[in-house]
């Protein structure tokens, strides 16, 4: 026998649970399906186990998408304040870290429990821990789950992106999109450490050293920490830049972001006996590596002004050419995905396939590091939850 629902939501992650809760509480009969035995695996590991659940600075320009206007409608209708109100209703203690990032004081599991509680208020039914097979006929969508088949006039793709496959992430969203004739914006790993080739080996010896920098990739610039690793570069500044980086591009790092103008020549006047290494406001090992690359080992007094100006310019835009990234195994998110040109920005419904919706990371909307990706998951999930 086939059970019939108002909507089947495929993927019980951040967006899918939010969508199910909203639609269920509006009286819709919802089935939430996931191949994992437990929902919200990425929420559980997010924010170092504390879930950076939103960012108070949420604005459309904090998101990458082929259509930068697409996210405005959903983000405007479900704001960080709405999510904070929900968190507070559930008595979950939270704090602001830096740059508007809000985290749980306790555990990210509290957010999963909260969303489950909201789904249960909406009498959402679950089908977890079994693979699902999606089909479509004139009457709507049919999903095979183990031995049974369920059907609904609406199907929501909420299966996220392929980053971190070891916790159950797959590219099923893209496969479904292709099957239904929806275009994709080429997906690639983002918020991911970048790797350096043998010509940058000097910097690989600095594994573990971190420093405040400005990282530039294309037109984007991020003032945060960079971290040298055994394989290359990481830390928030680099993760952010990685979302804008493409194979063959350079990433430029400003190692002296608080200095400007002729600061090295001025340092020569005020501290003539100091070395470059000493005047750089950086960890010792890094300062030494940079000074040796610049071949300025002497006292500043002994270095011509011209050489100091050239060194200051190089330090302000030190160019690296990563040979790759650490890929989906390490990426926090995926840039690209189901093209927004296929979807209504109000409801997330596919224009060409009535009843088919796509939300969350599966869609070509990707946030910066810092709680923006969850805010997009909540906002897009809520938009569809109100439309079902
Ligand atoms: C290590 C890490 C830390 C992160 N920290 C943060 C953070 O602190 N703040 C932030 O904003 N963002 C963070 N993110 C990003 C954030 O987790 C995602 O952007 C967000 O979870 C996307 O929500 P979603 O609902 O679209 O997808 P997901 O939450 O990934 O949910 C997708 C669901 O679909 C299911 N699924 C996949 N394939 C199938 C299939 N074939 N059949 C059935 N079900 C399937 C999965 O099991 C999963 O439950 C982090 C990501 C990672 C990897």
Query: Which residues are CB-neighbours of 274 under 8 A, at least 6 positions away?
Result: 267, 299, 300
Q: In sequence order, what are the beta bridge partners of 94? A: 104
Length of the chain: 388
Pocket lining: 11 vs ligand 1, CB cutoff 6 Å:
yes
Could you read off the pLDDT of 280-295 as tens digits, one per residue? 989 999 999 999 999 9
| Ligand 1 centroid distance, CA of 157 (Å) | 13
Residue 83 near residue 52 (C-beta atoms within 8 A): no
Alpha carbon 301 to chain centroid, angstroms = 47
Long-range contacts of 196-199 (CB under 8 A, 24+ apart): 196/231, 196/232, 196/233, 196/320, 196/322, 196/323, 197/321, 197/323
Residue 175 near residue 347 (C-beta atoms within 8 A): no
**Between the CA of residue 171 and those of 11, 85, 98, 163, what are the distances in Å?**
12, 33, 33, 9
Angle between helices 80-89 and 372-387 (to 10 degrees): 90
* pLDDT < 70 positions in the chain: 1, 201-202
Pocket lining: 171 vs ligand 1, CB cutoff 6 Å:
no
Residue 380 CA, closest ligand 1 atom number: 26
Pocket test for ligand 1, best of 8, 10, 12, 13 (most atoms within 8 A of CB): 13
- Burial class of residue 246, CB neighbours in 10 A (0-12, 13-18, 19+): exposed
Nearest CA to ligand 1 atom 22: 361
State how far the Cα of 19 lies from the Cα of 2, in Å rounded to an integer: 23
Residue 159 CA, closest ligand 1 atom number: 34
Pocket lining: 333 vs ligand 1, CB cutoff 6 Å:
yes
Reported pTM: 0.96
| Ligand 1 centroid distance, CA of 251 (Å) | 27
**Between the CA of residue 318 and those of 40, 214, 234, what are the distances in Å?**
40, 10, 15
Pocket lining: 13 vs ligand 1, CB cutoff 6 Å:
yes
Phi, psi angle pair for 194, to nearest 5°: -105, 150
Per-position DSSP letters for 49-92, written without gaps between them: GT-EEEETT--GGGEE-SSTTTTHHHHHHS-HHHHHHHHHHTT-
State how far the Cα of 13 lies from the Cα of 53, in Å rounded to an integer: 13
Could you read off the pLDDT of 92-142 as tens digits, one per residue? 999 999 999 999 999 999 999 999 999 999 999 999 999 999 999 878 999
Query: Which residues are CB-neighbours of 302 under 8 A, at least 6 positions away?
Result: none
């Amino acid at each position: 026998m086939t059970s019939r629902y108002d909507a089947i939501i495929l993927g019980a992650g951040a967006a899918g649970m939010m969508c199910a809760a909203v639609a269920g509480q509006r009286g819709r009969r919802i089935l939430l399906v996931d191949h994992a035995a437990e929902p919200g695996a990425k929420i559980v590991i997010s924010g170092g186990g504390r879930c950076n659940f939103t960012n108070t600075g949420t604005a459309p320009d904090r998101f990458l998408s082929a259509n930068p206007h697409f996210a405005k409608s959903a983000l405007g209708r479900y704001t960080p304040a709405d999510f904070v109100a929900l968190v507070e209703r559930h008595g979950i203690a939270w704090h602001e870290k830096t740059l508007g990032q809000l985290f749980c004081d306790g555990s990210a599991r509290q957010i999963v429990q909260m969303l489950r509680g909201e789904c249960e208020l909406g009498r959402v039914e679950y089908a977890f821990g079994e693979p699902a097979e999606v089909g479509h006929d004139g009457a709507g969508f049919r999903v095979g789950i183990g031995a049974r088949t369920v059907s609904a006039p609406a199907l929501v793709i909420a299966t996220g992106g392929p980053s971190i496959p070891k916790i159950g992430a797959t590219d099923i969203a893209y496969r479904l999109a292709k099957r239904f004739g929806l275009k994709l914006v080429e997906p690639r790993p983002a918020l991911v450490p970048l790797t350096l080739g043998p010509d940058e080996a000097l910097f690989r010896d600095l594994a573990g050293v971190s420093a405040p920098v400005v990282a530039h990739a294309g037109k984007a610039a991020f003032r945060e920490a960079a971290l040298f690793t055994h394989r290359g570069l990481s830390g928030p500044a680099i993760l952010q830049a990685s979302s804008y980086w493409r194979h063959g591009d350079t990433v430029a790092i400003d190692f002296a972001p608080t200095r400007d103008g002729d600061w090295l020549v001025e340092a020569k006047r005020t501290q003539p006996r100091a070395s470059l290494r000493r005047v750089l406001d950086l960890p010792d090992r890094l300062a030494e590596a940079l000074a040796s690359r610049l071949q300025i080992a002497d006292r500043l007094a002994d270095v011509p002004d011209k050489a100091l100006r050239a060194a200051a310019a190089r330090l302000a835009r030190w160019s690296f050419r990563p040979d790759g990234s650490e890929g989906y195994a390490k990426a926090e998110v995926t840039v690209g995905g189901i093209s927004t040109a296929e979807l209504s920005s109000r409801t997330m419904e596919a224009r060409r396939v009535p009843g088919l919706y796509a939300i969350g990371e599966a869609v070509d909307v990707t946030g910066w590091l810092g709680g923006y990706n969850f805010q997009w998951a909540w906002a897009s999930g809520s938009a569809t939850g109100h439309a079902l």
